[in-house]
Amino acid sequence: MKKVKKTPERSPNSTMIRIQIHLKEALDLLAQQTDSSLQEVLERAIEQYKRQYFFHQLNASYEKLKSSDRESIKEEMKLWDYTLMDGLK
Q: Convert the pLDDT of each residue in 24-74 to its tens digit.
A: 999 999 999 999 999 999 999 999 999 999 999 999 988 887 777 878 888
Higher-confidence residue of 31 and 75: namely 31
Predicted TM-score of the model (pTM): 0.61
- On whether the CB atoms of residues 52 and 44 are closer than 8 A, the answer is no
Q: Taking each helix axis from N to C terminus, what angle separates 38-64 and 21-34, rounded to the nearest 10 degrees? A: 100
73 belongs to a structural domain: yes
**Predicted confidence band of residue 89 (pLDDT cuts 50, 70, 90):** low
10 belongs to a structural domain: no
1 belongs to a structural domain: no
9 belongs to a structural domain: no
Which pLDDT belongs to residue 12? 79
* Structural domain for 39, as ranges: 21-84
16 belongs to a structural domain: no
